[in-house]
Amino acid sequence: MSLKRITAPTTHPLTLAQVKEHLRVDVDDEDTLIAALLDAAIESAEHATSRALMPQTWELALDAFPAAFELTRVPVSSIVSLKYVDTTGSLIQLASNAYVLDNASDHSFAYVVPAYGTTWPETLDQVNAVTLRYTAGYDSAALVPDSVKAWIKLQVGAMYANREAEGAVQTYALGFADRLLDRAKVWG
């Protein structure tokens, strides 16, 4: 099994200007650094919550069809394609009416299951015989939970203020601020 991001998001849930306002920085001297810290904080938030914050494309590859595909980056907006290698070795794209996306819950993984009255087809016994490509992420920055955006600002602030991993004063997790992600976490 492998999960990889195919297309990265082209926008952020926060602008550089919003983060600089939070940091109380009004010059452009460290924009490159702040932008890099913003990227790191967003990746940390996505990892901690199992969410895709802005639209991006993911691909899940499996050796065979599971009972249900478990999509671990939510919210899932659509299935791009579901392909498999049939028993003759041909690559086949499954028709979209042969499966159903269950993305009803905001706090658990999304699932793809066979449509009513259908079953998954047989595959060739090989590595990555089945690939499911999907898009995940909120449609706009305005839809990203405010608690996640607040955590990202605090994370950028902590990294901006403490630029060393270790030093005279050891820094640790953000404590109470890390709880801001709790309501956004996705549980399997």
CB 60 within 8 A of CB 71: yes
Q: What is the pLDDT of residue 175?
A: 65
Confidence (pTM): 0.85
Which amino acid makes up residue 186?
A: V
- Are residues 127 and 60 part of one domain? yes
Same domain, 91 and 147: no
79 and 126 together in one domain:
yes
pLDDT value of residue 108: 84
Selection from 139, 180, 142, 137 nearest residue 158 by Cα: 180
Q: pLDDT under 70 in the chain at which residues?
A: 165-179, 183, 187-188
pLDDT of residue 3: 94
- Domain of 178 in residue numbering reads as 2-53+141-184
Answer yes or no: do 34 and 75 share one domain: no
Residue 147: Cβ within 10 Å count:
15
Q: Can you read off the two tokens belonging to residue 181? A: 């992600």
Q: Do 83 and 126 belong together in one domain?
A: yes
DSSP conformation class of 29? T
Per-residue pLDDT tens digits for 177-186: 666 777 677 7
63 with 117, same domain: the answer is: yes
Helix %, strand %, coil % of the chain (to 5): 30, 25, 45
The pLDDT of residue 105 is: 83
Residue 28 sits in the same domain as residue 81: no
| CA dist., res. 160 & res. 90, Å (int) | 52
**What pLDDT score does 9 carry?**
97
Nearest to 130 by CA among 163, 98, 170: 98
pLDDT of residue 81: 98
Amino acid letter, residue 82: L
Same domain, 68 and 132: yes
Number of domains the chain contains: 2
CATH number, residue 172: 1.10.3230.30
Please tell me whether residues 70 and 21 are part of one structural domain.
no
